[in-house]
């Protein structure tokens, strides 16, 4: 019995010590924002900060939240991503690894709130340019089509990215090829979709997906002989932000 | 009480976003790989930390940073602030907007430093590189890239120059840098373009773009307001590649100097290092 009473205490200390350290780190991370806001508010705009109490409590929440997130990252997201990469390699099932990569890319993107917002705005742009009807149904069909397009493109990005890690292809050939694709398609895409397409590359990689995908890539590269985790492990996120640009422009070309 | 309710909503929304991810992960782990989860208690606590931490983070931003950031973006771009009078700007000179560029750069830098997904990638890169890539060095390089990118993006909206020329020029620079940058940094540099624009940076940068596009005649909020995020994801690549190239050049300069000193030493008399080696080898 006595050692059972000890156990939670030890756990609490183990959990708390790194948490305090990351709390200090988050404070340091947040200082630039506080400095910028204060400088522009007082020195440039010359106005007092409204509702200081509200701001102070918000900052406290951000601090605690960031510290918890970084702890959770090290406890859950990183180990899961790496462990799954190991298991896939050990099992040697290429088919399931590829299915997993596509599903992860598609599944994490299709419900991404930032993407939903961009898709809705894009539908309004298309309606204003009279590419589609201005009815409620036409708008939501266009937005849904765009969301599915982006989600499929992120799935394909992870699929290609994982194949690249397995084969050891240099990342820059694929990325530069992608750039050329983007440039060529810019010439053909309707002008009103170009800005949205460029921005859609940035909104697809959410805060939960990024650590997972990074751990997956690094885990794959370090568990395959002849692959270097630094050279081959990174690059999945870059693919996931490049393919949506091309697919969104393609969507614009096909619909328009 | 109201705040608590709102936090609960944010938490539930995040939970809804994370559930499919968790389902995919554990579905594959249990049914395809047929492996049990290592240390399920630790994993569960970590997942709760991630979701709860993100919810707190977003809620705090919404409470403290976003309203004031949006307000500042609106005030800095308002004609009242720039020209001292309200009304419609007829022919904006790019130089009237210097404070806007300064704000764009400063807020781009500051929000990127606090971006959680960048922290994640920096931690991973530091682990993988065995400490060669420092966590804060990478974050500051990326943040500088975002700062330049967002400021240039604001300049583009003011001048009304086409977005794709900037992006294509940026690509050309990246391609040139790729040919000469150290190979080990290339993939990481490309990745750092995608991680800069998630939770913290996008809302503020989008507000700035919207504020600019709405107050300058001939700009449409929908057409010209977009594109700032593209700048914020392109320029970090250039910054990280440039940072690595600087490091490489400095290392090469040090090496060259050392070699020169070595050559000077060997012509003088004997190279001490070589004689040292000779002294050791007979014993083997």
Chain B interface mutation, best of A20, A207, A243, A245, highest count of B Cβ atoms under 10 Å: A207
Any residues with CB less than 8 A from the CB of B148 and at least 6 apart, and which? B105, B235, B239
Burial grade of A74 (CB within 10 A; 0-12, 13-18, 19 or more): middle
Cross-chain Cβ contact B163/A198 below 8 Å: yes
Q: Cα angle vertex A214, ends A156, B121, to 5°?
A: 130
Q: In 10 A of CB A187, how many CB atoms?
A: 9
- Among chain A residues, the shortest Cα distance to B103 is held by A40
Taking the C-alpha atoms of residue B263 and residue B258, their distance in angstroms, rounded to an integer, is 9
Radius of gyration of chain A, Cα coordinates, nearest whole angstrom: 23
**Nearest C-alpha of chain A: how many angstroms from B259?**
29
Q: Please give the model's pTM, rounded to 2 decimal places.
A: 0.84
Residue B1: per-residue pLDDT: 58
Chain A interface mutation, best of B178, B187, B210, B224, highest count of A Cβ atoms under 10 Å: B187
**Nearest C-alpha of chain A: how many angstroms from B255?**
24
Of A53, A167, A148, A64, the C-alpha closest to A110 is A148
Cross-chain Cβ contact B16/A111 below 8 Å: yes
Residue A52: per-residue pLDDT: 82
Contact assessment for residue A246 and residue A181, using Cβ atoms and an 8 Å cutoff: yes
**Nearest C-alpha of chain B: how many angstroms from A146?**
16
**Max Cα–Cα distance, chain B, nearest Å:** 89
Cross-chain Cβ contact B53/A41 below 8 Å: no
Radius of gyration of chain B, Cα coordinates, nearest whole angstrom: 26
Any residues with CB less than 8 A from the CB of A31 and at least 6 apart, and which? none
Q: In 10 A of CB B163, how many CB atoms?
A: 23
**Nearest C-alpha of chain A: how many angstroms from B14?**
10
Residue B87: per-residue pLDDT: 63
Any residues with CB less than 8 A from the CB of B127 and at least 6 apart, and which? none
Name residues of chain B where pLDDT drops below 50. 267-284
Residue A11: per-residue pLDDT: 67
Which backbone phi and psi does B220 adopt, to 5 degrees? -105, 135
Residue B91: per-residue pLDDT: 66
Give pLDDT tens digits along chain A (256 positions).
444 444 556 666 776 777 788 788 888 888 888 888 888 888 888 888 777 888 888 889 988 998 898 889 889 989 998 888 988 888 888 899 999 999 999 988 887 777 887 788 788 878 877 778 878 888 899 989 999 999 999 999 999 999 999 998 999 899 999 989 998 998 898 887 887 888 787 777 778 888 889 999 999 999 888 898 888 999 999 999 899 999 999 998 988 7
């Amino acid at each position: 019995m006595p050692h059972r009473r000890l156990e939670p205490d030890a756990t609490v200390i183990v959990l708390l010590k790194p948490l305090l350290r990351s709390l200090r780190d988050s404070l340091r991370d947040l200082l630039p924002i506080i400095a910028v806001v204060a400088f522009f508010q007082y020195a440039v705009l010359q106005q007092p900060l409204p509702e200081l109490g509200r701001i102070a409590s918000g900052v406290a929440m951000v601090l605690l939240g960031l510290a918890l997130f970084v702890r959770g990252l090290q406890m859950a997201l990183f180990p899961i991503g790496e462990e799954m990469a190991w298991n896939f390699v050990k099992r040697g099932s290429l088919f399931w690894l590829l299915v997993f990569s596509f599903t992860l890319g598609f599944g994490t993107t299709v419900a991404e709130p930032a993407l939903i917002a961009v898709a809705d705005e894009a539908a309004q742009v298309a309606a204003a340019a009279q590419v589609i009807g201005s009815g409620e149904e036409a708008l939501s069909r266009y937005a849904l089509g765009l969301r599915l397009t982006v989600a499929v493109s992120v799935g394909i990005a992870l699929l290609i990215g994982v194949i690249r890690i397995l084969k050891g292809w240099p990342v820059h050939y694929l990325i530069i090829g992608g750039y050329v694709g983007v440039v060529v398609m810019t010439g053909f895409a309707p002008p009103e979709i170009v800005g949205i397409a460029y921005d859609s590359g940035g909104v697809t990689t959410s805060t939960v997906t990024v650590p997972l995908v990074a751990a997956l890539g690094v885990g794959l590269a370090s568990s395959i002989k002849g692959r270097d985790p630094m050279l081959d492990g990174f690059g999945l996120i870059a693919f996931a932000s490049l393919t949506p640009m091309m697919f969104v422009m393609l969507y614009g070309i096909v619909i328009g | 009480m109201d705040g608590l309710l709102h936090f609960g909503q944010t938490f539930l929304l995040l939970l809804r976003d994370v559930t499919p991810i968790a389902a995919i992960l554990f579905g594959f782990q249990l049914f395809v790989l047929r492996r049990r989860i290592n240390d399920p208690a630790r994993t569960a606590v970590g997942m709760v930390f991630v979701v709860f931490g993100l919810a707190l983070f977003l809620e705090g931003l919404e409470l403290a940073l976003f309203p004031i950031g949006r307000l500042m973006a609106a005030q800095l771009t308002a004609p009242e602030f720039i020209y001292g009078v309200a009304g419609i700007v007829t022919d904006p000179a790019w130089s009237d907007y210097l404070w806007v560029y300064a704000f764009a750069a400063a807020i781009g830098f500051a929000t990127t430093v606090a971006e959680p997904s960048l922290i994640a990638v920096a931690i991973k890169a530091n682990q993988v590189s065995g400490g060669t890539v420092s966590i804060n060095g990478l974050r500051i390089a990326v943040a500088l890239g975002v700062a330049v990118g967002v400021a240039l993006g604001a300049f583009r909206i003011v001048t009304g120059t086409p977005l794709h020329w900037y992006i294509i020029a940026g690509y050309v620079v990246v391609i040139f840098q790729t040919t000469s940058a150290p190979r080990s940094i290339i993939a990481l540099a490309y990745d750092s373009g995608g991680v800069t624009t998630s939770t913290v940076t996008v809302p503020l940068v989008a507000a700035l773009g919207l504020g600019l596009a709405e107050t300058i005649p001939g700009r449409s909020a929908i057409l010209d307001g977009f594109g700032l995020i593209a700048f914020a994801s392109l320029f970090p690549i250039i910054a990280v590649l440039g940072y690595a190239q600087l490091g490489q050049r400095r290392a090469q300069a040090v090496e060259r100097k050392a070699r020169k000193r070595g050559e000077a030493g060997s012509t003088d008399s004997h190279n001490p290092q070589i004689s040292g080696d000779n002294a050791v080898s007979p014993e083997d």
